[in-house]
Amino acid sequence: MINCPALIDRIMAVMEVAFDPAYGEAWNQRQVADALAMPNTHALVVDAAGAPIPDGARSAVQPAGFVLTRHVLDEEELLLIAVAPGARQRGIGVALMEQMITASRARGIVQIFLEMRRGNPAIHLYNKFGFEPIGERKHYYRMANGERIDAITFGRSI
Ligand SMILES: CC(C)(COP(=O)(O)OP(=O)(O)OC[C@H]1O[C@@H](n2cnc3c(N)ncnc32)[C@H](O)[C@@H]1OP(=O)(O)O)[C@@H](O)C(=O)NCCC(=O)NCCS
């Protein structure tokens, strides 16, 4: 359980610019706060160099990306990962995944899962980390225009 307004602000600063509104994937502040209030939720925010910004203190460092996960027993779900558009394709997504996997291993996690809408370029990042498709839910996501998109579940052992 994490109760840190500065952390929520940093996550929201990236959230608000990172997700295409057409897909309705961004979470609002309330959803982030509620998730962080749940036990076993983990958040990592990094700067433009991919270095972690510590949760607690106020900081002038601009957040460039974040990842949110939650674990149950020895399995962890990647809930959201995002990098601000101006900071993309410079390895920050890789830095987030590496640090997330290291932290997961340290808490005894053996499997990581994530779910992605079909067609999300994030698949390049997930493939790079050895995630394999293990299932799909047809027409699971609804876009802002009402169209439906499949969800694909990926997993890998760590
Ligand atoms: C997915 C996302 C986090 C990737 O962040 P990033 O910082 O650009 O990722 P990286 O620079 O570390 O790139 C990782 C790899 O993926 C590739 N990649 C990233 N975005 C890509 C794109 N749009 N098209 C093709 N390849 C892409 C990179 O080339 C790199 O591969 P390489 O090392 O072989 O060249 C970012 O695009 C994003 O925030 N997207 C919007 C939010 C989202 O959809 N999140 C996923 C669902 S929660």
pLDDT single digits (tens) 14-61: 999 999 999 999 999 999 999 999 999 999 999 999 999 988 767 789
Q: Is the CB of 48 under 6 A from ligand 1?
A: no
Q: What is the mean pLDDT of residues 95-123?
A: 98
Q: Whose CA is nearest to atom 43 of ligand 1?
A: 82
Sign for the CA dihedral angle at 61, 67, 68, 71 comes to negative
Q: Is the CB of 99 under 6 A from ligand 1?
A: no
Q: What's the pTM value of the predicted model, to 2 decimals?
A: 0.96
Q: What is the mean pLDDT of residues 118-146?
A: 97
| DSSP-assigned beta bridge partners for residue 41 | 70
Q: What is the DSSP letter of 52?
A: B
> To the nearest whole number, what is the mean pLDDT of the chain?
95
Token pair 């698949």: residue: 123
Q: pLDDT-derived band of residue 129, with 50, 70 and 90 as boundaries?
A: very high
Distance in angstroms (rounded) separating the CA atoms of residues 119 and 133: 13
Q: pLDDT-derived band of residue 13, with 50, 70 and 90 as boundaries?
A: very high
For domain 5-157, give its CATH number from 3.40.630.30, 3.30.2010.20, 1.10.3720.10, 3.40.50.2300: 3.40.630.30
Q: What is the DSSP letter of 57?
A: S
Distance in angstroms (rounded) separating the CA atoms of residues 83 and 33: 19
| Residue 1, pLDDT score | 60
- 75-83 and 65-72 beta bridge pairing: antiparallel
Q: Is the CB of 88 under 6 A from ligand 1?
A: yes
Task: Look up residue 75 and give its two tokens.
Answer: 């399995």
* Higher local confidence (pLDDT), 4 or 30: 30
Q: What is the DSSP letter of 105?
A: H
Name the 3-class secondary structure at 150.
Answer: strand
Task: Give the N- to C-terminal CA distance of the chain in Å, as an integer.
Answer: 24
Q: What is the mean pLDDT of residues 86-111?
A: 98
Domain positions in the chain are 5-157
